[in-house]
């Protein structure tokens, strides 16, 4: 079951709520949607970053300042958005950033901020919008994850913890809210040419990690050879196409890196699981 606005097809204008809309995929998504005459509530952390879009699109764009780590503020902005727009068809949980460093290089403050932003911020946003979507008869929630929600690189342990964590949360909640006409899409872009690397929070380097796998990834990021990059515009177009679909997949893999690496990881996990069949069944109680 999906909301009535989504059931009526892609030709009908929609209203969106998008976090992290000042840069990257969030900014591009906001621009594409406004260009096709949809309405957007865009949240940002800094004043003025969407002034140009505001002047171009007027009342079809509502810009709200939001600190995604503040659960009270999230609820206030959600209330404000629904009050202003009357109805929101699609909620896009996009606000996030990368944290790089071997696990013991990371400070407690870095860890707390990463979890508060990428994981708890997304969880609290979803919790805040569910009652509103349920009351209006349905809607769609899009959680922006990454290939890092299914695979892992050395040096990104906390980033992966947030992405693997939010994917598990969404997979459970998506089953809970089926009766209310609410559905989910988890978007998994691979490395994409946005400001992700520029905004990366780096931990202080410990000499003992020189030459280790984490150090090798660090050097590849610095040199620009880390991975083949996807096109941000094409990524957003694919997202919009999937979101507009009546029956989208729960997970949407975008980019050759995601397709190849996630596919390989899933195959390896399946083979490992199948090799453990005998021992798995051996622990069951006798009939």
Choice between 118 and 193, residue whose per-residue pLDDT is larger: 118
Average of per-residue pLDDT values in the chain: 93
pLDDT at position 11, please? 56
In the predicted model, what is the mean pLDDT of residues 179-194?
A: 91
Checking if the pLDDT of 196 tops 80, the result is no
Which of 104-113, 214-223, 275-284 shows the lowest per-residue confidence on average (mean pLDDT)?
A: 214-223
Note whether 89 and 5 are within 8 A (CB): yes
Residues labelled catalytic? 22, 145, 159, 163
pLDDT tens figures, 68-116: 999 999 999 999 999 999 999 999 999 999 999 999 999 999 999 999 9
In the predicted model, what is the mean pLDDT of residues 53-63?
A: 96
Checking if the pLDDT of 5 tops 60, the result is no
Question: What's the angle, vertex CA 167, arms to CA 166 and CA 168, rounded to 5?
Answer: 90
Checking if the pLDDT of 129 tops 80, the result is yes
pLDDT band at 223 (very low <50, low <70, confident <90, very high): confident
Note whether 177 and 136 are within 8 A (CB): no
- 3-class secondary-structure state, position 185: strand
- Beta strand extents in 130-250 (DSSP E only): 139-144, 182-189, 201-202
pLDDT at position 1, please? 42
pLDDT at position 286, please? 87
Ordered by where they begin, the domains of the chain are 4-256 (3.40.50.720)
pLDDT at position 80, please? 98
pLDDT band at 61 (very low <50, low <70, confident <90, very high): very high
pLDDT at position 2, please? 44
Cβ-defined contacts of 245-251 (< 8 Å, 24+)? 246/2, 246/6, 246/7, 246/9, 247/2, 248/140, 248/183, 248/185, 249/185, 250/171, 250/174, 250/184, 250/185, 250/186, 251/167, 251/185, 251/186, 251/188
Nearest to 17 by CA among 107, 117, 101, 130: 130
**pTM (two decimals):** 0.92
- Beta strand extents in the chain (DSSP E only): 15-18, 39-44, 61-65, 90-93, 99-100, 139-144, 182-189, 201-202, 251-254
Checking if the pLDDT of 8 tops 90, the result is no
pLDDT at position 9, please? 45
Checking if the pLDDT of 4 tops 50, the result is no
Checking if the pLDDT of 38 tops 90, the result is yes
Checking if the pLDDT of 49 tops 60, the result is yes
pLDDT at position 227, please? 67
- 3-class secondary-structure state, position 141: strand
Nearest to 121 by CA among 93, 148, 149, 140: 93
Share of residues in the chain with pLDDT > 70 (%): 94
Q: Scanning the structure block, which residue is given the tokens 């909620």?
A: 91
> How large is the C-alpha radius of gyration of the chain?
20
CA separation, residue 3 to residues 134, 190, 277 (Å): 10, 29, 42
Question: What's the angle, vertex CA 105, arms to CA 102 and CA 108, rounded to 5?
Answer: 115
Give the CA count within 13 Å in the CB-facing half-sphere of 78.
24
- Beta bridge mates, 65: 44
Which of 99-113, 186-200, 209-223 shows the lowest per-residue confidence on average (mean pLDDT)?
A: 186-200
pLDDT band at 195 (very low <50, low <70, confident <90, very high): low
């Amino acid at each position: 079951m999906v909301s009535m606005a989504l059931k009526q097809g892609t030709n009908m204008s929609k209203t969106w709520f998008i976090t992290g809309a000042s840069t990257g995929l969030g900014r591009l998504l906001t621009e594409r949607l406004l260009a096709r005459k949809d309405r957007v509530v865009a949240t940002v952390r800094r004043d003025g970053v969407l002034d140009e879009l505001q002047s171009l699109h007027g009342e079809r764009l509502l810009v709200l300042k939001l600190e995604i780590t503040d659960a009270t503020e999230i609820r206030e902005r959600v209330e404000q958005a629904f009050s202003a727009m009357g109805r929101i068809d699609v909620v896009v949980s996009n606000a996030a950033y990368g944290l790089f460093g071997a696990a013991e290089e990371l400070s407690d403050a870095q860890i707390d901020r990463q979890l508060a932003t990428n994981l708890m911020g997304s969880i609290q946003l979803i919790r805040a919008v569910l009652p509103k979507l349920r009351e209006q008869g349905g809607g769609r929630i899009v959680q922006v994850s990454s290939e890092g929600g299914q695979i892992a690189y050395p040096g990104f342990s906390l980033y992966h913890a947030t992405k693997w964590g939010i994917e598990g949360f969404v997979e459970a909640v998506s089953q809970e809210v089926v009766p209310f006409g609410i559905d989910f899409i988890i978007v998994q872009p691979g490395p994409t040419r946005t400001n992700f690397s520029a905004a990366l929070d780096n931990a202080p380097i410990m000499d003992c990690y020189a030459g280790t796998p984490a150090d090798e990834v660090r050097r590849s990021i610095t040199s620009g050879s880390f991975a083949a990059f996807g096109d941000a515009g094409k990524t957003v177009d694919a997202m919009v196409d999937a979101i507009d679909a009546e029956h989208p997949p729960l997970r949407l893999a975008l980019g050759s890196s995601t397709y190849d690496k996630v596919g390989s990881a899933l195959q390896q996990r399946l083979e490992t699981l199948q090799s453990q069949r005998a021992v798995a069944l051996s622990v069951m109680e006798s009939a």
